[in-house]
Amino acid sequence: MRVARLEGFARPLLSGERVALNLLSRLSGVATLTHEFSERIKGPRLYDTRKTTPLLRVLERYAVKVGGGQNHRFNLAGHVLIKDNHLRLGGGVYACVKAARKKYGQREFIEVEVENFKQASEALRAGADILLVDNANPRTFRAILQLVRGKMQVETSGGLTLSNIRKYAHLAVDRFSSGSLTHSAPALDFSIELYPR
């Protein structure tokens, strides 16, 4: 299938051929994988992560949007996201969320990564805005959803694949995030064929 037609002198076309094909292959792979994930969850709830190729973040995030996904925060200044390392160094879920809320008040929304029901309970008590449930099995995940229903948003991440995402798709999840959209997307195969005029 032809995706584009180029006209020009052979030398510049051949000089830029490999860079153009590499970018087209890479970004088309990201968009295609994102589309496949989006089809399985039936809705605009799929988000990328910051696990992008150095110097290609803007382009890969655009490819995610083209594929039907959404963009998570672009960098660390995007919003407060408290992850496992912060929790270990900062005294746990409750202490970290309380400290972030004290510093930022209501002007920033606070997202916290949790792995179990106890951590989710602490996040709810401390006033987090979004739970990032990481690598929880479906049973634990359902219990967490029951706990926080309507009180905060829930995002799931960690280990989501095309083969297992349907287990979570029917649950009341606000957001799915997957680094695999950008770090594991297979490149699509493109070639440039030159013909003399």
What is the model's pTM? 0.88
Q: What is the CATH number of the domain that holds 129?
A: 3.20.20.70
- pLDDT of 158 reads 82
Reported as a single tens digit per residue, the pLDDT across 47-69 is 999 899 999 999 999 999 999 99
51 is catalytic: yes
- Does residue 195 lie in a domain region? no
Query: pLDDT at residue 111 above 80?
Result: yes
- Does residue 104 lie in a domain region? yes
- pLDDT of 138 reads 78
- Does residue 125 lie in a domain region? yes
Distance, in Å, from the CA atom of 17 to the CA atom of 40, rounded to the nearest integer, reads 35
- % of residues, the chain, pLDDT over 70: 100
What are residue 157's DSSP bridge partners? 134
- Which residue among the candidates 51, 65, 83, 102 is catalytic per the annotation? 51
For residue 129, the one-letter residue type is D
Average pLDDT over residues 114-143: 92
> Which residue matches tokens 């996904």?
69
- Does residue 179 lie in a domain region? yes
- Beta pairing class for 80-82 and 46-47: unpaired
The residue segments making up the domain with residue 176 are: 12-183
Domain count, the chain: 1
3-state secondary structure of 142: helix
Q: How far apart are the first and last CA of the chain?
A: 21
